[in-house]
Structure 1
Amino acid sequence: MDFIEYIKLISSDYTLRTITLGTAVLGGVTGMLGSFAVLRKQSLLGDAISHAALPGIAIAFLITGSKDTNVLLIGALISGLIGTFWIRGITSKTHLKSDTALGLILSVFFGFGMLLLTFIQKMPNANQAGLDKYLFGQAATLVESDVWLMTIVTGLCLFVLLLFWKEFKILLFDKDYALTLGFNTKFIDILITSFIVLAIVLGLQTVGVVLMSAMLLAPAAAARQWTNSLGLMVFIAAIFGASAGVFGTAISATQNNLSTGPVIVLVASVFVFFSFIFSPSRGLLFKQIRLIKNRNALELQKTLAFMYHIVEDHDDISHPHAIKILNNFQGFSRKGLRELEDKNYVKVAGDMWSLTSTGVAAATNLYNQNQKDD
């Protein structure tokens, strides 16, 4: 299937339309909530929660014997919330830092989940096959009810964000100030963390336990490069996440033997890579351009400062001796000399160059300005 055929099939093919809408909604909500995890320096939170959800899926199957998606996701949600509160308990009751607690819960819960999955696979029950899809996701299993559930959660998330926007913002940047204002910071923190857990659990079916953290963090990390505004960052992250879902699904659908979840994560990673390089304010490319400009400006100032001292010691700037001293100066490049010539600070005759009256004035002004700054 080529890309044109894919576009035509979206409106007519139920499965393709459902998967595209589901991944777009999932990318949007994880992008929004991932912004708070990134800004709170809890990048491992998504990884820990997604891995902590795995034993919940296995236990839900062992209790009910059913592979109904809603039942398994409820188990994943309970397990994820337990893991989250254990992380909070470890950091508040012990001297361990949050990254240690996150790594501990991640490894313990994931190990326990893999143990349960191995146990289930060896059970004499033909219904146990397919639970391993939650490790890497299987977007093709999405149905319309799953999309509606994601949409409802996204709408609820938007409502809560708008309702508690001021509280979230203050807690994010100055927790102590939020306490002095009388805000219940514990409740606000639990609220945003619970929504992050819910969004991660919803994405397990599509992206899987192993890759879900990238779906949470990649859009937010990319959006952070483009703005310093929290509101704009949340919006851009949602756009990046939804776009990664749509484009990842399109690439997976138009190519053979490509899993949708990993492709979505790779597309999100491309957005991160692009943002890291081409962002006007933080991008590596523009940083390098600014560095070169600053270096050239410094070289120009250094040359002008040297010119001033030549002028100070020689009344006649056109004297051969003065010109010789200027040309022996090695603190400039040919490109810098051309820039000085363009500004009419120097004039070049063959291999020799000399200072103009405009250059003398500019050098004097620069020297006087440096004297004032000192």
Structure 2
Amino acid sequence: MLGLLSDYTIQTVAMGAALLGVSSGVLGCFAVLRKQSLLGDTLSHAALPGICIGFLIAGTRDIGSILFGALMTGAAAALVVLLLTRMSRLKTDAALGIALSVSFAIGVVLLTHIQGGGNASQGGLDSFLFGQAAAILRSDLWIMGGIAAAALALVALLWKEFKLVSFDPGFAASIGLPVVALEVAMTTMVALAVIVGLQMVGVVLMTAMIIAPAVAARQWTRRLGTMVLLSAVFGTIAGVVGAALSATARGLATGPLIVLTITVIVMVSLFFAPERGIARDMVRRWRERRGLAGRQVLSTLYGMATEHHDRKYPVELGALDAFHGTATRGAIARLESRGLVRPVRHEPETTPHWELTPAGFAEAERLERELGGGR
């Protein structure tokens, strides 16, 4: 591992991946909270015509011109989405789909035109589709870092406003905040995150880096500040680990490995997060089913006891099974461990019988009162 870290190219790729992780992790949170997960996909695909236009204007594969062109077309696509949703009856998802498909089609046409033009410097331009991390230079990191720093500074400057617009845009408008301008600013931030990751993971996979870190972080917390911090950490981990895996396994592209790494983080978060994890919900539902079965058996014993005016009325286990239509031995065992029921003999019968203890009768009475109050 130390040998890998000393390699100049790997250091460059790892730093670029870390920049990508931080910027996409932080900025993607606002897209997720605003329920605009498709926005990252739209802006990343809308960057392709800008990449081609930047190349045509510069006449060479200049990273500054290419990224500036990508930012312009991404911003234009975002403006189209905003106009379509506010000036027509189209919903946001339909407007995003239109902007995505049209802009990507224009980009493919321009890319085909460039590749057929005979310009020798266009070699590798199509790598922006899926990324080519190994082609990143230290000079490119300065551009990526500058873009990321500008986006993060914008978040810090307008943190309260972005937070309010993300959660309650109606209230934000009622207190005089420029909601439209703030939405444009947040969309611009997502576009900046896309620009940072174009060389690393490419147009096609960039949407995963916008959405996945935020989705993973959302499972662990209910606070926006903590979510943004966790999202940045998850994005950075995915970027560095993906770059390291690509360096150790020759022939495997860095971009897809970064996306696969963040996918693993998302799956772990979805299953094992303490507040929202699927595993926690499964355990909770299992416990609720067990508790419900115990309460039903307790209610049955209580009903039989009150019907026969005998608090210690014994009920046969087989009768309980028949009444509930399922085996009740497990529920009985749990009730016995809590001291709510106890086994008794009921001569001349030899089959197991159960009766309520004083504590069990009191608990059953309490449950009946709660049930009656709920009605």
Give the TM-score, by structure 1 length. 0.93
1:359: which partner in 2?
360
2:206: which partner in 1?
212
1:3: which partner in 2?
none
2:108: which partner in 1?
114
Matched-pair contact (CA < 8 Å) for 1:33–1:196: yes
Q: What amino acid is the match of 1:302?
A: Q
Matched-pair contact (CA < 8 Å) for 2:147–2:196: no
Residue identity over aligned pairs, in percent, reads 43
Query: 1: CA distance between counterparts of 2:298 and 2:181?
Result: 61
Say how many residue pairs are matched: 365
Query: 2: CA distance between counterparts of 1:283 and 1:203?
Result: 29
Give matches, 1:38-57, under 5 Å.
38-57=32-51
| Match among 287, 301, 304 for residue 298 of structure 2 | 304
1:339: which partner in 2?
334
Q: What amino acid is the match of 1:247?
A: V
Matched-pair contact (CA < 8 Å) for 2:44–2:74: yes
* Segment of structure 1 superposing worse, 340-349 or 76-85: 340-349
1:14: which partner in 2?
8
Query: 2: CA distance between counterparts of 1:244 and 1:199?
Result: 15
Query: 2: CA distance between counterparts of 1:343 and 1:262?
Result: 54
Query: 2: CA distance between counterparts of 1:239 and 1:86?
Result: 33
Give the drift of 1:317. 5.0
* Segment of structure 1 superposing worse, 51-60 or 157-166: 157-166
Give 5+ residue unaligned stretches, structure 1.
1-5
Matched-pair contact (CA < 8 Å) for 1:304–1:366: no
Give the drift of 1:60. 1.8
| Match among 20, 25, 28 for residue 19 of structure 2 | 25
State yes or no: 1:137 paired with 2:137: no
Matched-pair contact (CA < 8 Å) for 2:148–2:196: no
Structure 1 residues 351, 27: closer, same or farther in 2, change over 3 A?
A: farther
- The root-mean-square deviation of aligned C-alpha atoms, in Å, is 1.7
1:269: which partner in 2?
263
Structure 1 residues 311, 82: closer, same or farther in 2, change over 3 A?
A: same
Matched-pair contact (CA < 8 Å) for 2:320–2:328: no
Query: 2: CA distance between counterparts of 1:333 and 1:309?
Result: 16
Structure 1 residues 129, 195: closer, same or farther in 2, change over 3 A?
A: same
Query: 2: CA distance between counterparts of 1:92 and 1:368?
Result: 54
State yes or no: 1:35 paired with 2:29: yes
Query: 2: CA distance between counterparts of 1:9 and 1:250?
Result: 8
Give the drift of 1:337. 1.4
CA deviation vs aligned residue, 1:226-267 (integer Å, no higher than 9, x gap): 112111111111111111001111111111210000110011
State yes or no: 1:328 paired with 2:322: no
Matched-pair contact (CA < 8 Å) for 1:308–1:367: no
Q: What amino acid is the match of 1:40?
A: R
Q: What amino acid is the match of 1:354?
A: W
Structure 1 residues 352, 193: closer, same or farther in 2, change over 3 A?
A: same
Structure 1 residues 111, 372: closer, same or farther in 2, change over 3 A?
A: closer
1:230: which partner in 2?
224
* Segment of structure 1 superposing worse, 133-142 or 153-162: 153-162
Secondary structure of the equivalent of 1:132? helix
Query: 2: CA distance between counterparts of 1:31 and 1:249?
Result: 17
Structure 1 residues 318, 60: closer, same or farther in 2, change over 3 A?
A: closer
Query: 2: CA distance between counterparts of 1:368 and 1:195?
Result: 56
* Segment of structure 1 superposing worse, 161-170 or 258-267: 161-170
Q: What amino acid is the match of 2:19?
A: V
1:105: which partner in 2?
99
Give 5+ residue unaligned stretches, structure 2.
345-349
Query: 1: CA distance between counterparts of 2:7 and 2:374?
Result: 70
Query: 1: CA distance between counterparts of 2:145 and 2:198?
Result: 16
Query: 2: CA distance between counterparts of 1:80 and 1:351?
Result: 77
Matched-pair contact (CA < 8 Å) for 1:341–1:347: yes
State yes or no: 1:159 paired with 2:150: no
Give the TM-score, by structure 2 length. 0.93
Query: 2: CA distance between counterparts of 1:164 and 1:62?
Result: 36
Give the drift of 1:316. 4.2
2:237: which partner in 1?
243
Q: What amino acid is the match of 2:363?
A: A
Structure 1 residues 353, 247: closer, same or farther in 2, change over 3 A?
A: farther
